[in-house]
Structure 1
């Protein structure tokens, strides 16, 4: 919460500093020109990437991701199994996994797992490549991605009012659950034990160990 307040104060301070300058319009025009150039680079990103790439467009740069470690893959698969089964059974929407790309106002991301409520999901097409902001995003930490997951992605998901954000550490077997209150994420829990109950996926509640252990995952699946 303290970090979020500092970020908000910083944004207000930057805006105030620009408005205090006599060349404020020139600064705004320079920013607009830079963002217009970024749009061209972003379009090239769309043209160049293929379904085989694990790539994201973040603040004007294409970020390529390396293959994941086994524990990362296991955690993603275990959680997806539970979440997708529940969402399909209850007809709540659509669950995307790994390479599904969401397109926000400036950046494009491929979350490890994301969930869209039915009112969004019914509009999706079979040949669709870019998707709107989901209602839940899950990112699984790795050495190469955790700075993004806790930094620019956290801020971007928050700014685009994505209701719920889970950060999973597969090494420490920890789940962090954030829920949007107003304009900021609030940490609901950070734990290795107990249950997690989703805000965005109505009625979805699972034991946290089921995300990390196959035997516990099977028990949770049978209890859904």
Structure 2
């Protein structure tokens, strides 16, 4: 028996084609398409700082870093998201132009409107990615970063970084002073 999809159902293929020409970005969850809101100065600056630091670190290595406009596909549960920053060292990701499926690092800059989703359901959805080794949440109102790192048993461990500390992203062998990430960000 064939079931009919929901009336507002959008196939993954329709979604991906629509995103190529859309004036705004959308995330995709089980056939539903959700428009994304704009971001604050702090959010954009943090994202840019992280991208530049990670991009410079990986220059010439074969690993790639993306920010804001590259989707991640969570195929097992039919999802597409736009992480703020994502890193992949998997050669399979070189074969896709509009999304990546094998990131080892995903970073989300928290905002009041998305923090609950980023901490909860989105993290749960990202955890379906076998390649994901670290999921990072960056506060935009204080110098504070949380890194959820998958241990050798496949369990997520939390590492917190605050002012004066060195951040470590083991998945990509990256270290820097937290102040570099917060350069030119006004902290309340």
Q: TM-score, normalised by structure 1?
A: 0.71
**CA offsets per residue over residues 113-167 of structure 1, 9 Å max, x none?**
000115345x335xx1122131100001112222221112111122223111110
RMSD: 2.6
Is the helix fraction higher in 1 or 2?
1
Partners of 2:26 and 2:164 lie apart in 1 by: 33
What is the number of equivalent residue pairs in this alignment? 179
Structure 2 spans left out of the alignment, 5+ residues: none
- Give the equivalent residue in structure 1 for 2:124: 155
> Aligned pair in 2 of structure 1 residues 179, 92: CA closer, same or farther (>3 Å)?
farther
- Is the 8 Å Cα contact of residues 114 and 137 (structure 1) preserved in structure 2? yes
Partners of 2:31 and 2:90 lie apart in 1 by: 32
Partners of 2:39 and 2:83 lie apart in 1 by: 13
- Is the 8 Å Cα contact of residues 165 and 178 (structure 1) preserved in structure 2? yes
Query: The residue matched to 2:102 in structure 1 has which SS?
Result: coil
- Give the equivalent residue in structure 2 for 1:137: 106
Is the strand fraction higher in 1 or 2?
2
- Give the equivalent residue in structure 2 for 1:189: 160
Deviates most, 157-166 or 180-189: 180-189
- Give the equivalent residue in structure 1 for 2:147: 177
Deviation of 1:214 after TM superposition, in Å, equals 4.1
- Give the equivalent residue in structure 2 for 1:66: 37
Structure 1 position 42 matched with structure 2 position 14: no
Aligned match for 1:108, one of 80, 103, 124:
80
Q: TM-score, normalised by structure 2?
A: 0.83
Partners of 1:200 and 1:173 lie apart in 2 by: 22
Query: The residue matched to 1:159 in structure 2 has which SS?
Result: coil
> Aligned pair in 2 of structure 1 residues 193, 168: CA closer, same or farther (>3 Å)?
same
Partners of 1:163 and 1:51 lie apart in 2 by: 31
Deviation of 1:208 after TM superposition, in Å, equals 1.0
Aligned match for 2:137, one of 167, 178, 184:
167
